[in-house]
Structure 1
Amino acid sequence: MDSVDTAPAAGTTTLLVGRERAVAGVVPPETGELYAARRKIHPQGVRGRFRTIRWAILAVALGIYYLVPFLRWGRGPHEPSQAVLIDLDRGRFYFFSIELWPQEVTYVMGLLILAAFTLFFMNAVAGRVWCGYLCPQTVWTDLFLAVERLVEGDRRARIRLDAAPWSLEKVTARVLKHAIWLLIAWWTGGAWVLYFADAPTLVGELATFQAPPVAYAAILTLTATTYILAGHMREQVCTYMCPWPRIQGALTDADSLAVTYRYDRGEPRTGAKRAQALRAAGQPAGDCVDCRQCVVVCPTGVDIREGLQMPCIQCGLCADACDAVMTKLGRPTGLIAYDTEANCERRRRGEAPVIRIVRARTVLYALLVAAVGGTMLYGLATRSFTGLSVLHDRNPLFVTLADGSIRNGLTLRIVNKRPVARHFALSAEGVPGLRIEVVGAPEGRLAVGPDTTQEFRALAFAPAGAVLDKSSPLTLRITDLDSGEAAQAQDHFKAP
Structure 2
Amino acid sequence: MATLIDTIRNDPRSPRRGLQGVGAEPVRSAEPVNDRELRSDYEARRHIFPSRVHGAFRRIKWTLVALLLGIYWGTPWIRWDRGPAAPDQAVLLDLARRRFYFFGIEIWPQEFYYVAGLLIMAALGLFLVTSVAGRAWCGYACPQTVWTDLFIAVERLVEGDRNARAKLDASPWTLTKIRKRLTLWSLWLVIAAATGGAWVFYFADAPTLLVDLVSGTAAPVAYTTVALLAATTFWLAGFMREQVCTYMCPWPRIQGAMLDEHSLIVTYNDWRGEPRSRHAKKAIAAGRDVGDCVDCNACVAACPMGIDIRNGQQLECITCALCIDACNRIMEKVGKPRGLVSYSTLADYERHAQTAATLGRDTARAEQRGPSISKVLRPRTILYFGLWATIGVAMLVALAARGEIGMTVLHDRAPLFTTLSDGSVRNGYELKLVNKAGEPRSLALAIQGLPDATMWTAENGERTRSAVVDVPPDSVRDLRVFVLRPAANAAPADFAFVLTDPRSNETVVEDARFEAKEVTRK
| 1:387 aligned partner | 406
| The one of 95, 101, 106 aligned to 2:102 | 95
Superposed CA deviations along residues 190-240 of structure 1, whole A, max 9, x for unmatched, are 111111111111111111111111111111111111100000111111111
Contact 2:20–2:314 (8 Å) recurs in 1: no
Give the partner amino acid of 2:469: L
Residues 3/405 of structure 1: CA separation in 2 closer, same or farther (3 Å cut): closer
Decide which of 69, 75, 84 is 2:82's aligned counterpart.
75
- Rounded Cα–Cα distance in structure 2 between residues aligned with 1:258 and 1:99: 40
Q: Which residue in 1 is equivalent to 2:200? A: 193
Q: CA deviation at 1:456?
A: 1.1
3-state SS, counterpart of residue 31 of structure 1: helix
State the Cα deviation string for residues 37-64 of structure 1 (Å, max 9, x = none). 1000000000000000000000011111
- Describe the shift of the 1:402–1:298 C-alpha distance in structure 2 as closer, same or farther (beyond 3 A): same
1:153 aligned residue (150, 157, 160): 160
SS at match of 1:109: helix
- Alignment counterpart, residue 306 of structure 1, candidates 304, 308, 311: 311
Contact preservation (8 Å) 1:302, 1:312: yes
Map of 2:385 onto structure 1: 366
Structure 1 CA distance for aligned equivalents of residues 283 and 259 of structure 2: 38
Letter in 2 for 1:462: R
Q: 2:467 corresponds to which residue?
A: 444
1:425 partner amino acid: A
**Take 1:396 and 1:16, find their aligned partners in 2: how far apart are those partners?**
78
The one-letter amino acid paired with 1:133 is Y
Post-superposition offset of 1:401: 3.4
- Shifted more, 247-256 versus 120-129: the winner is 247-256
Aligned to 2:27: 17
**How far apart in 2 are the matches of 1:27 and 1:364?**
41
1:249-268 counterparts in 2 under 5 A? Answer: 249-268=256-275
Return the match for 2:510 from 481, 489, 493.
489
1:27 deviates by: 12
**Gap regions ≥5 residues in structure 1:** none
Query: Structure 1-normalised TM-score?
Result: 0.92
Structure 1 runs of 4+ with >6 Å offset: 26-30
| Number of equivalent positions | 484
The question of whether the paired residues in 2 share the 8 Å contact of 1:9 and 1:300 is answered with no
Residues 91-130 of structure 1 aligned to structure 2 (within 5 Å): 91-130=98-137
1:153-204 Cα deviation digits (max 9, x unpaired): 1001112222333333222211111110111111111111111111111111
CA contact (8 A) 1:19 1:267 kept: no
Over aligned residues, Cα RMSD in angstroms? Answer: 2.6
Cα distance, 1:3 vs structure 2: 11
Moved more, 350-359 or 185-194: 350-359
Aligned partners of 2:471 and 2:170: how far apart in 1? 71
**By how many angstroms is 1:402 displaced?**
4.1
Deviations 1:340-367 (A, max 9, x none): 1221111122297844111111111010
Whichever residue aligns with residue 221 of structure 2, its letter is V
Q: Are the structure 2 counterparts of residues 405 and 225 from structure 1 closer, same or farther at C-alpha, using a change threshold of 3 Å? A: same
Match of 2:496 in 1: 475
Q: Report the equivalent of 1:202.
A: 209
- Choose from 126, 140, 152 the match for 1:133: 140
Specify the alignment match of 2:325 in structure 1: 320
Moved more, 76-85 or 158-167: 158-167
Aligned CA distance change for structure 1 residues 376 and 245 (closer, same or farther; 3 Å):
same
Normalised by the length of structure 2, the TM-score is 0.87
Shift in Å at residue 404 of structure 1?
4.0
CA-CA distance at 1:483 after TM superposition:
2.3
Provide closer, same or farther for how the CA distance between residues 399 and 165 of structure 1 changes in structure 2, counting only shifts above 3 A.
closer
Q: Distance in 1 between matches of 2:209 and 2:188?
A: 23
- Equivalences for 1:145-184 in 2 at 5 Å? 145-184=152-191
Query: Equivalent residue for 1:333?
Result: 338
The answer as to whether partners of 1:406 and 1:495 remain within 8 angstroms in 2 is: yes
Matched with 1:55 is: 62
Deviation digits for residues 352-407 of structure 1, max 9, x if unmatched?
78441111111110101101111111121112221111111112222333444332
**Is the contact made by 2:328 and 2:340 (CA closer than 8 Å) also made in structure 1?**
yes
Question: Deviation digits for residues 415-465 of structure 1, max 9, x if unmatched?
Answer: 111111111111222434332222224481111111111111111123443
CA change 1:34–1:293 in 2 (3 A) is closer
Q: Which residue of 2 aligns with 1:347?
A: 352
SS at match of 2:510: strand
Give 3-state SS (helix, strand or coil) of 1:204's partner.
helix
Paired residue type of 1:51: R
SS at match of 2:484: strand
C-alpha change, 1:239 and 1:28, in structure 2 (3 Å) is farther
Correspondence for 2:293: 288
Match of 2:376 in 1: 357
Residues 441 and 473, structure 2, Cα contact 8 Å, conserved in 1: yes
SS in 2 for 1:190: helix
The answer as to whether partners of 1:439 and 1:457 remain within 8 angstroms in 2 is yes
Consecutive unaligned residues of structure 2, counting only runs of 5 or more, are 1-9, 13-17, 356-363, 518-522
Aligned partner (choices 23, 35, 42) of residue 35 of structure 1: 42
- Which residue pairs with 1:416 in the alignment? 435
CA contact (8 A) 1:13 1:33 kept: no
Q: Which of 448, 454, 459 is equivalent to 2:482?
A: 459
Percent identical: 51
C-alpha distance 168-13 of structure 1, shift in aligned 2 (>3 A): closer
SS of the aligned residue for 2:445 comes to strand
For 1:142 and 1:381, how far apart are their aligned partners in 2? 40
Q: Which stretch has the larger CA shift, 33-42 or 287-296?
A: 33-42
Give the Cα separation in 2 of the matches to 1:414 and 1:326.
70
